[in-house]
A = this chain, B = another copy of it.
């Protein structure tokens, strides 16, 4: 059994008020430079203490020759120095009160230096210091404006990312930043000598700033613990996983990367279905699914209504929906009759997908007002296939009227598209670059919601607890 008291220290990483950067560097090519620059540039709400015996000042901030010289109590330490020097630094940080450490440095287990990793493990056990890493890319937590990682992320949003690959985490963070959707937090796990994926799942499950969790996994270290954790997590937060090593060659590569035992892919697949983890097929689906899960209402139905200004995109959406088992209900006769006299383009095809042809935002609105007056669908997909100013306002109204059951695909709209997409993301409406990706994401959100509803209603005596029994 996991030691539940272990969970307590995890929030120290995210809520830290003072951070030391050991190995802060004036050289822009060094990670110790990027880490300091991003802590400062991200607008961290606490105090930052760079440590480097050779420098007096970096990026305009006073540098301390040793940890001992820092005139403050430390919460968190970020370490980017050679592996053999890490343990000593961490011990000094503990002396200054640090309860959490992020070890960016590589050169431990992944490099055959089990001895160095064991040293940190012993130190953690002895002092209670919680350690993320080593051999990792750090942590972001936007509510605290903490960017102890790279690249710099400054846009807060509702998805948390936990990843065994620093690059996969950074990629999701960068996408979310660029399109104004944002993340709540982001953790690169590295070698997981102490803090592991399950710890972080627990944290984000109870984090009010997180609406859905995206997890990139090469293999779970402690299977039973992971399973127990997931059972609790999915009661409060939808969870999507990208698991690599799904082929024999991939498993071999995974074992070299983080020494994870990947296990048989079919077994993991079955486990996901049983536990209510939505399994993504690639990095983009991991991101898209989390976006939809964090923003769409947890609705069980599978009926999709597509309203589009691009006929071709509508067909591609239908193809994808049918492949994934979503239904496109026919329009009730009454709706068709009302659409026939509505102010929408005269050449519109009055079916599902409702192809408005080249249409303005008010024409979209007119059609949607009619569709929403009837129980036509569980989810709406709006496809804007042109520069359509005002598209965001249309989506906002549909979102309000439907109770967050709308997703958008916006494509081929140039600068107008970019501006409208940004507005929609600020409003919490998920926008996808293609109809296929939008439908896949709606499918993911619907699947996760259906799992939750079915397991609460259908299995009152099952091991899945109700929300109140969830973790706290």
Contact = CB atoms under 8 A, between A and B. Distances in A.
Given A106-B358, A167-B385, A319-B249, A312 B151 contact: no
Interface string A306-348: 0001111111101111110000100000000000000000110
Contact of A412 (B106, B111, B174, B358): B174
A417 to B, nearest CB: 8
Contacts of A106: 347, 357-358
A258 interface: yes
A152 interface: yes
Nearest to A353: B253
A246 interface: yes
Given A150-B414, A358-B31, A436-B282, A250 B319 contact: yes
A209 B347 CA distance: 37
A181 interface: no
Interface in A274-311: 282-284, 309-311
Interface stretch (A158-166, A231-239, A420-428, A462-470): A158-166
A268 B246 CA distance: 30
A450 interface: no
Contacts of A313: 165, 167-168
A284 B257 CA distance: 29
Contact of A256 (B168, B309, B349): B349
Contacts of A258: 311
A282 B316 contact: yes
A286 to B, nearest CB: 10
Nearest to A435: B283
A75 interface: no
Nearest to A163: B312
A447 interface: no
A353 B258 CA distance: 14
A41 to B, nearest CB: 11
A245 B387 contact: no
A199 to B, nearest CB: 19
A284 B282 CA distance: 13
A171 interface: yes
A386 interface: yes
A117 interface: no
A414 B242 CA distance: 22
A31 B360 CA distance: 12
Identical chains in the assembly: 2
Given A111-B347, A170-B412, A174-B412, A245 B312 contact: no
A263 to B, nearest CB: 14
Nearest to A173: B412
A353 B167 CA distance: 16
A360 B29 contact: yes
Contacts of A351: 253, 256
A131 B297 CA distance: 48
A417 B254 CA distance: 25
Contacts of A315: 218, 244-245, 250, 253-254, 257
A24 to B, nearest CB: 17
B312 A249 contact: no
A417 B171 CA distance: 11
Interface string A408-444: 0001111101000000000000000111110000000
A248 interface: yes
A110 interface: yes
A312 to B, nearest CB: 2
A386 B173 CA distance: 13
A167 B319 CA distance: 17
A257 B355 contact: yes
A272 to B, nearest CB: 16
B346 A107 contact: yes
Interface in A92-106: 106
A399 B127 CA distance: 52
Given A150-B387, A170-B412, A360-B29, A318 B247 contact: yes
29 contacts: A111-B347, A150-B386, A150-B414, A152-B414, A163-B312, A167-B385, A167-B411, A167-B412, A168-B313, A171-B411, A171-B412, A173-B412, A174-B413, A174-B414, A245-B315, A247-B318, A247-B319, A249-B328, A250-B318, A254-B315, A256-B311, A256-B349, A256-B351, A257-B311, A258-B311, A282-B320, A282-B436, A282-B437, A283-B435
Q: Which 10 A-B pairs have the closest CB atoms?
A: A165-B312, A170-B412, A167-B385, A151-B414, A167-B310, A257-B311, A250-B319, A247-B322, A111-B347, A244-B315
